[in-house]
Structure 1
Amino acid sequence: MDNNEIGDSVGTLDGAVIAVAGAGGPAGHAALLRLAQAGATVIGADADPERLAEGVDAARYAHGGATVIGDTVDLLDGPATTRWAEGIEKEFGHIDGLVHLVGGWRGSASFDATDLMDWDFLEKLLIRTVQHTSLAFHEALRRSDRGRYVLISAAGASRPTSGNACYSAAKAAAEAWTLALADSFRKAGGEAGPSAAATILVVKALVNDAMRAERPSAKFAGYTDVRELADTVAGIWAQPAAEVNGNRLWLTKKP
């Protein structure tokens, strides 16, 4: 499914409660703002409290009256992630989404120069955090009438390059895990179809204004702006669960 199938029509998210994992980075900041603009109550989590607070404050300031909360959570800690999910549901009564924006990259000049220490690093950030958040939020999302789990992935998972073996393999594993979550939602929906969905958004890479300022001559060809990504994320809730569950939505050219 291509991103133009989502379109520019983003339905209201009034009353929705959406958690954002990895909310301290530029993509997280953009997602907090966009989801708040759409009317959602947004709870961001990050291991860096300062970066998280910047995004939360910016979203609150830009959209007065929005409920935007920041929680410092170590998503590599499974029990802590579960407590985070349980706390959100206890406070607000329901959870309608988890947006997974935890990222990281390491690569090498060639395949034979691959350092498996990079795998150890990326396995934690790109796979373990997906496992912890999906398991922690699964039941709450399944109970919601519009539950969504949104994973941000990379085109390299489908066509790995020689210097990105660890990164591409970790992204592919995270996608497989998310598709297993989608199958769980499908089975839970039975003949009526799923009410919750797990979806993968695929980018080549992300770009933001700070990156453009640092490299004014760079073209960033094929990159997705973090604001465009945030618009697409918010649009997931406007699509029927059955249409997006278990699908990859491409924001870049398919390899």
Structure 2
Amino acid sequence: MFLPGESHFTTVESRGFRDVDTWVFDLDNTLYPSDARVWPQVDERITLYVMRLYGLDGLSARALQKHFYHRYGTTLKALMVEAQVDPHDFLDFAHDIDHSTIKLDQALGDAIERLPGRKLILTNGSRRHAENVAAKLGILDHFEDVFDIAAADFVPKPERSTYERFLARHGVDPRRSALFEDIARNLVVPHELGMTTVLVVPRVIDPFREAFEQEAVREAHIDHITNDLAAFLEECVFPVSGEVPVPGEVPVPGEGR
């Protein structure tokens, strides 16, 4: 994934951050690490929902859930099409989790607070889920707004219409924005639209997630890769974003756009 001692990857051709004035973050598996144990809980709740809806055992429900995910992009989209499920009911059930496993992330909060410009969350989850998790991380107050799956009319990333709807609603110029996201395929359209793209991957492979979701994919639509978001902001963003360094910090050279 990375060379020994390496936590970030970029190329000289990659778009930089000098002109960025809007910072957009995915939520799940991007703003928190795998040891927060958030996604495994959500995933288990989704399986339980499928079990109850179809009267299946756990293994069968799990298999159907993953079939839906690969065919439709999200289980919710599949259930809306296949079973006319109320999306709000599904989201309330899936996100009814224990938040005590989420730790305050002071370093990430400080880094996000220092970003020059607007900060937004763009998630395939619900607003309530995003706000609950961000509040536990100690970063909610740094964000202007949350664009959730309901705001996207329940059309999930990576559909182009979702990104276009987000950009239009919040008046974001994609050429002056950066998107931080944990799934490589979700960065294809944003890059085509002109956004600087950052793939956030786990430091250790999470067995509760699909392997392709965790790959440090080095492709043209991905400008940067990191397995430490707070450190990436400090080391690779601030030196070229126009943000004033904290006294005592040594700027790290970076590429402009």
User: TM-score category by the smaller chain?
Assistant: 0.3 to 0.5
With structure 1 as the length reference, what TM-score do the two structures score? 0.44
Select the structure that is richer in helix: 1
Select the structure that is richer in strand: 1
With structure 2 as the length reference, what TM-score do the two structures score? 0.44
Please identify the structure whose Cα radius of gyration is greater. Answer: 2
